[in-house]
Amino acid sequence: MVVLAASVINKSGKVLVSRQFMDMTRTRIEGLLAAFPKLVGTGKQHTYVETDMVRYVYQPIEALYLLLVTTKQSNILEDLETLRLLSKLVPEYAFSLDEDGICRTAFELIFAFDEVISLGHKENVTVAQVKQYCEMESHEEKLHKLVMQSKINETKDVMKRKASEIDKSKIDRSRGEKGGFGPIQSMGSGRIESAFSDMSISSSGSGFGSGSGLGVTTDFDSFSTKAKGRPPSSATAPPKGLGMQLGKSQRTNQFLESLKAEGEVILEDVQPKVGQSKSVAPPLTDPVTLNVEEKLNVTLKRDGGVSNFDVQGTLSLQILNQEDGHIQVQIETGGNPGILFKTHPNMNKELFSNENILGLKDPNRPFPTGQAGDAAGVGLLKWRMQSQDESLVPLQINCWPSVSGNETYVNIEYDASPMFDLRNVVISVPLPALREAPNVKDIHGEWRYDARNSILEWSILLIDNSNRSGSMEFVVPPADSSVFFPISVRFSATSTFSDLKVVNILPLKGGAPPKFAQRTQLLTENYQVV
């Protein structure tokens, strides 16, 4: 048995895939394959055709032919067995049994043909063995990749620590170069609690201005040697228009900024400036603050439908003064039957079930107090909602990639539910590796291209009744539609699914109820279209 070539052609003789196993010129194999459709007769039951030089052994596959070109001395029974095995392999690797499906998996088919036929002779293999050989899985390769990934993660951690140390040293050095700490001794204390960004020396040199109350402790003992013997005028007469202020250095580390511009997300945790924490957790001003927070975990299917919809909510309490700790919290829920509430083990469950009041089992025990930096607070209540109802999804995303010539046109549209006004919406679309930014033709909002991670970010500041739907269109080089998934979405809102509201604060020891504030937000934890 000597197989000259294994090919897949259409009815008109166009060659889609052909693998030669003997030394043949391209002209000869093209001539042999072009002559085959003329030799095949209609209405015949044979699966082979012979000429003076070669034999064609073939099998129709829908609108195509799977064809073996062999010598006339070859064993036709073995040729038929080889043809039968190849006919089982072609559907395993081809997306569809048409010209487009065969051409898209041409190399996979060639590799499979090589596993079945070697130098014109059939190998003793099965379909399962061929698939295993083509996958080429290696335990050593997996182990090597795990080791490499662990080294990369370790290097990133080291880089993160070094960057933080460098930034702290720069802040300390700039603080030391400014000097002028003589008036500190008049305060009568070596330790002063205040936020660096809000702490400044007054014009008379007599003391410090008011702090923000963030609880950052600064030790000035190390500067006492510089302060001794220095006249007060050195601190009270700074250059005109500059105004000496501690911690107000706005120079950002260039190394961190360059990594951030390249898309290195791990350095987002490095906070060289203490004042930045104010934007994360604004300071508490009311005696009692209740935080209602819901996190969304949603997975949408690209063709429509909901794969996963999960809402997890928490109600937490923050009290500034200890005398306000003897209280109970009366709440009101939106009456959503799909939400399951669960109180903290220390809460009185019967009181909550009967009167919607959250209070401790022991009325004589106060709630713990926390400072402004205690962002978490004390957890009182948790709830969860799961559903497959597509109408509950706050933001639907549709992505339509289409190839036209040498370009891929991608149309993305969003459709927001009228239940929520969404803020700071960012839709992140993965892209194939590009040499330059994609060509964005039409967009509602703003866009940014992250070249390092090859992601296009579509940003909408606010989605309300004026823009419940919008679209974006961009053009990239030809790419498979699966490249643009999964699409990640993040946003926030000031209303929640539970519609939980704090009605009143009930003091247990008499007197007027303390003033309270409620903060409500809906956040996305994992929101994807796959």
pLDDT in tens, 154-197: 999 899 889 988 988 888 888 776 554 444 443 444 443 443 33
Which of 239, 63, 71, 250 lies closest to 174 in space, CA to CA? 250
Question: Band of the pLDDT at 212, cuts 50, 70, 90?
Answer: very low
Which of 321, 297, 306, 318 lies closest to 376 in space, CA to CA? 318
Question: pLDDT above 70 covers what percent of the chain?
Answer: 77
Per-residue pLDDT reduced to its tens digit, 487-530: 999 999 999 999 999 999 988 887 788 888 899 999 999 999 99
Q: At what angle do helices 76-93 and 106-116 cross, to 10 degrees?
A: 150
Does residue 522 contact residue 312 with C-beta atoms inside 8 Å?
Answer: no
Choose from 116-120, 149-153, 371-375, 506-510 the range with maximum mean pLDDT.
Answer: 149-153
Residue with tokens 């370790």: 154
Can you tell me the distance from the alpha carbon of 449 to that of 445, in angstroms, rounded to the nearest whole number?
A: 14
| Edge-first strand listing for the sheet containing 357-358 | 357-358, 327-332, 501-507
12-16, 246-250, 371-375, 476-480: least confidently modelled range: 246-250
Q: What is the pLDDT of residue 256?
A: 62
Which of 465, 487, 466, 467 lies closest to 411 in space, CA to CA? 487
3-state SS, residue 436:
coil
Indicate the pTM of the whole model: 0.48
Task: Look at residue 427 and tell me whether its pLDDT is greater than 50.
Answer: yes
Specify the amino acid at residue 266.
Answer: I
